[in-house]
Chain A
Amino acid sequence: MKTEWQETEKSDIAYRVERNTLVITLGSELDHHSAEHIKNRSEYYLYKHQIRHIVFDFAKTNFMDSSGIGVIMGRYKTVRGLGGTIAVANVSEQLERIFVISGLHKLVDRYQTVRDAIQ
């Protein structure tokens, strides 16, 4: 599928829109600092591009703390209100533990790749 819109921020986080899905490729670390950025940018895309679903791509990510859980939960609440879903892709074993302890794994769909998640 053609990427209709793409932007790379100054930070190492990338956002792209494929039809009604926003794909957020996270940077190496998802903490309070980067979570603030993701919160602000994703709200912008959601309203500008009629987004229903969000895919978080963790391929480059080797660290996440509870601030990451908070930002994913926040997006979950938003898209759920629009009838959408949240998916995550390329989650490492280490980050998997964070998902399980927080209970977030029950709310999001997990996929091996971003392509699988979008389909």
Chain B
Amino acid sequence: MFQNKMEVSFESISENESFARVVVAAFITRLDPTLEEISDIKTAVSEAVTNAIIHGYEGKRDNQVILRCEIRDREIKVVVSDTGVGIPDIEKAKEPLFTTKPEMERSGMGFVFMEAFMDRLEVESDVGKGTTVTMYKRIEIPMRMEESCEKSH
């Protein structure tokens, strides 16, 4: 079974949202994901990291977001952690369109997208201590060239 792990820590500024997406996309390249799978994972990572920056750390810089990624066989596990304010009511936070920051034009769709684009989502949070979001997604075995040619005939 193939296994690999990585961890990065970066400052809580919005520029790092694209950095986090690119890091995860690069890390999973070996599994040969489709463009759709890459896009799904990038969206989910972006949501989790943006939440850590905007909500966890309330937009304040000089805090660290930790991004961990693990591959076990064909399953990807992505963990995004902050040591920020925490979420008082996780179920409420997951509701579509619910946001604590409407004035910032937050759509309230972050957790909805994480759930839609990943296979599984776990959220752990302690008020005053921080939040950890863990997401899993299985990458299907890529179709070989000859198979895809046969299929298209």
Contacts and interface: CB of A to CB of B under 8 A. Distances in A.
A35 B116 CA distance: 22
Contacts of B105: 35, 39, 70-71, 73-74
Nearest to A29: B18
Nearest to A73: B107
B139 interface: no
A59 interface: no
Contacts of B53: 32
B109 A66 contact: yes
Contacts of B110: 65-66
Grouping DSSP codes into helix (H, G, I), strand (E, B) and loop, the B interface class, with mixed when no group exceeds half, is helix
Interface in B71-108: 104-108
Contacts of B50: 31-32, 65-67
A33 B17 contact: yes
B35 A94 contact: yes
B27 interface: no
Contacts of A73: 105, 107
Contact of A70 (B15, B42, B107): B107
A113 interface: no
A40 to B, nearest CB: 11
A66 B18 contact: no
A67 B54 CA distance: 11
B47 A36 contact: no
Grouping DSSP codes into helix (H, G, I), strand (E, B) and loop, the A interface class, with mixed when no group exceeds half, is helix
B43 interface: yes
A108 B89 CA distance: 32
A102 B109 contact: yes
Contacts of B47: 65-66
Contacts of B116: 101
Contact of B43 (A32, A39, A65, A74): A65
15 contacts: A31-B46, A32-B46, A32-B54, A33-B17, A35-B105, A63-B39, A65-B47, A65-B110, A66-B112, A66-B113, A67-B107, A70-B104, A71-B105, A98-B113, A101-B109
Interface of B: 14-15, 17-18, 21, 35-36, 39, 42-43, 46-47, 50, 53-54, 104-110, 112-113, 116
Given A71-B105, A94-B36, A101-B116, 9 more contacts: A31-B14, A31-B46, A64-B43, A65-B43, A65-B47, A66-B108, A70-B106, A74-B105, A94-B35
